[in-house]
């Protein structure tokens, strides 16, 4: 562990009060109300935050459910329901509360999408664009959950399909992006990009990112793509370190079909979906990306504009702004 990592971990512990040894007095469960809790149990801050959320929900008569594999690392009272991972883990839950950074939130999105249960993210990482609250807002989060004082919005996803020799060999999805990338560091990946059945450009580079508006502030942003407001319905195609005269980011309609063809003479590549799921792409493989059939539902506590969220998350300088005259 580096000195900076050790200091960060120490700061996490210092910022958190010691858990109470007093037993949690759970109120009589409110009929039909259960919240699923997902946490990054490798973070001391997430463990303590999970304990505080569980205490607040149980005292308000709301049942709490967690994954059995995570329960081993969390100081949970016996009143908390433990379940094994599976497609139906959120059955009967009204909300999914996720405590962690971007990776944990994307993990939560997998559960949210398959179940249709809204996800409420509490950021314990760095940027956390998918999160709706910060660690200091835990009391407010619990109160809003108890009183159902939140709104639900749907975020567009993408469906991903891989063909090889004319056959479909893999299907996937993503909330942020699907990226076609080179597998060998020392070799360029030769690709041809396509939009709506027509070729756009052939180039060599590190790969191509196909993203949603939600993902425009993630990998696509790092690759030089535009920031797209989440209310805008669109698809993005962003080359990664392309060695070409024309390799600009493209923004298409949400009904477009994007494709990336790995050229036969190039080394094999890899497909990553949201940086969590990966599959090898043999030379000659074709990746197709289209609007997803199933959105991810996010619970929102604030009515702040995306502009304000962008400024806050990236700490953008706005000194000198005067605004329009009234």
C-alpha distances in Å from residue 168, one per residue of 28, 93, 164, 285? 51, 35, 7, 10
C-alpha distances in Å from residue 134, one per residue of 110, 125, 179, 215, 236? 21, 9, 29, 20, 29
The single-letter DSSP state of residue 274 is T
Reduced to 3 states (helix: H, G, I; strand: E, B; else coil), residue 125 is: coil
C-alpha distances in Å from residue 144, one per residue of 173, 193, 302, 310? 30, 45, 11, 23
CA atoms within a 13 Å half-sphere pointing along the CA-CB vector of 207: 23
So which residues are the catalytic ones?
102
Q: Which of 179, 168, 163 is nearest to 277 (CA)?
A: 179
CA atoms within a 13 Å half-sphere pointing along the CA-CB vector of 215: 30
Q: Which two tokens stand for residue 196?
A: 């709506």
């Amino acid at each position: 562990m580096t000195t900076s990592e050790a200091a960060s971990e120490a700061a996490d512990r210092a910022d958190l009060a010691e858990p109470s040894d007093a037993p949690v007095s759970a109120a009589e469960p409110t009929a039909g109300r259960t919240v699923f809790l997902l946490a990054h149990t490798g973070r001391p801050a997430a463990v303590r935050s999970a304990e505080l959320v569980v205490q607040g929900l149980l005292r308000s008569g709301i049942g709490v459910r967690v994954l059995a594999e995570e329960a081993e690392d969390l100081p949970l009272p016996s009143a908390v329901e433990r379940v094994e991972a599976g497609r139906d883990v959120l059955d009967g839950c009204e909300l999914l509360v996720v405590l962690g950074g971007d990776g944990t939130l994307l993990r939560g999105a997998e559960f949210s999408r398959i179940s249709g249960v809204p996800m409420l993210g509490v950021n314990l990482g760095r940027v956390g664009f998918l999160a709706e609250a910060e660690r200091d807002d835990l009391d407010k989060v619990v109160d809003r959950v108890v009183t159902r004082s939140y709104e639900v919005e749907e975020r567009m996803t993408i469906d991903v399909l891989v063909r090889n020799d004319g056959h479909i060999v893999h299907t996937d999805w993503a909330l942020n992006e699907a990226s076609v990338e080179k597998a060998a560091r020392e070799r360029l990946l030769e690709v041809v990009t396509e939009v709506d059945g027509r070729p756009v450009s052939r180039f060599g580079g590190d790969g191509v990112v196909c993203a949603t508006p939600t993902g425009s502030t993630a990998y696509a942003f790092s690759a030089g793509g535009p920031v797209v407001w989440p209310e805008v319905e669109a698809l993005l195609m962003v080359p990664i370190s392309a060695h070409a005269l024309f390799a600009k980011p493209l923004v298409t309609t949400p009904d477009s079909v994007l494709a990336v063809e790995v050229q036969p003479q190039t080394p094999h590549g890899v497909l990553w979906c949201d940086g969590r799921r990966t599959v090898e792409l043999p030379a000659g493989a074709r990746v197709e990306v289209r609007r997803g059939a199933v959105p991810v539902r996010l619970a929102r506590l604030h009515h702040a504009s995306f502009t304000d969220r962008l400024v806050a998350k990236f700490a953008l300088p706005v000194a000198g702004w005067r605004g329009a005259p009234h």
